[in-house]
Amino acid sequence: MARIMKGREASIVILIIAFIAIVGSINSKFVEGNSLLLLLSSSIILFILAIGQSFVLLTAEIDVSVGSTMGLCAAICGLLLTGGMSVWPVVLIVLLVGAAAGLFNGFGVAYLKIPAIIMTLGTLGILRGLMIITTGGKWIEDIPNFFKKLSTESFLGLPIPIWIGLILVAAAYLMLRLTRFGRYFYAVGDNADGARLIGIPVAKVKMIAFMLSGISASIAAMVFVMNIGFIPNQTGNGMELQVIAAAVVGGVSLNGGLGTVWGAGLGAIFLTAINSSLIYLKIPAYWNNAISGLLLLVIVISNSKFQDYLRNAPFKRTAFVKGGMGKDEKADQSSA
């Protein structure tokens, strides 16, 4: 029980439930079934982006180009679909564009030793410019109906985009936990020099992390086109900050080597819940950014204090009262 409660995912779930309950007590429409399903659907793009960003953060790097990668991929997806190309070639091309953007970032960071923030900021500008050049600065409309209808199709009561997100997070989690290469991401982020000494290909791992981030951005772009049905020329602007915030709220460390993709996904749902709640609380839209930022700070600080409390107070005391020593305490002593 102690171990479960100490997990960041558990505390985020508790915070989400508490937050929804508080807002629901003010406006009951927020906790109706359709509203909660709409909340999940609204969070799915950020959810998918956070999964990819987690791989980069785990290696102690950062990717601030995910928003522009998503925007360019969405524009290419829209142009190809409106041009009459069938779905599967479009999917393949968009995935390749996302992977190429990630490969470009990864090569610069891992092999040219350019700091990740500088490299991905440069890529952000390049991709944003390419999007404007590609679209001529115009919105892309008239997306074929068959593609837009994919967002309304459901399986076992859940829309297709939610299934896409669940499959991606499950695959990413299994890869990180059950495969040797998946553990390399944690090892590189925890101690890159040590990882290199034991034979882990640090540069290759970092490059693949950026590629996975780019691919997740391309998938998010296709989901965006399905959901929205048109592509504004500002698509993806500002998404990078939300993505990084979602991953950090979900417990992925900016210092690398710590966190899970489930936590990042839960962080995305939580941030979306905060933004959605402002509508139900009838707060004017121009307050959104200020209130979301304030709530984010309060939540991160509260969660940090909650984790400190769990580490230091009740469970250890219980162990001493019973005259025994818990497993966690043994671990603490052995590591001391």
261-264 LR contacts (CB < 8 Å, sep 24+): 261/50, 261/51, 261/54, 261/169, 261/172, 261/173, 261/176, 262/9, 262/169, 262/173, 263/8, 263/9, 263/12, 264/50, 264/51, 264/53, 264/54
By three-state DSSP, how is residue 324 classified?
Answer: coil
Res. 296: pLDDT tops 80: no
Which segment of 28-32, 46-50, 254-258 scores lowest on mean pLDDT? 28-32
Res. 324: pLDDT tops 60: no
By three-state DSSP, how is residue 229 classified?
Answer: coil
Q: What are phi and psi of 35, to 5 degrees?
A: -65, -40
Residue ranges of domains in the chain: 1-303
CATH of 1-303, one of 1.25.40, 1.10.3470, 1.10.287, 1.10.1200: 1.10.3470
CA angle, 7 then 13 then 19, to 5°: 135
Res. 336: pLDDT tops 70: no
For 187-245, the pLDDT digits (tens) are 999 899 999 999 999 999 999 999 999 999 999 999 999 988 888 888 888 888 889 88
Q: How confident is the model at residue 42 (pLDDT cuts 50, 70, 90)?
A: confident
Question: What's the sign of the alpha-carbon dihedral 23, 35, 270, 303?
Answer: positive
Start-end of H helices in 59-159: 66-82, 87-110, 116-135, 145-148
Q: How confident is the model at residue 333 (pLDDT cuts 50, 70, 90)?
A: very low
For 136-172, the pLDDT digits (tens) are 888 988 888 888 888 888 888 888 999 999 999 999 9
pTM: 0.84
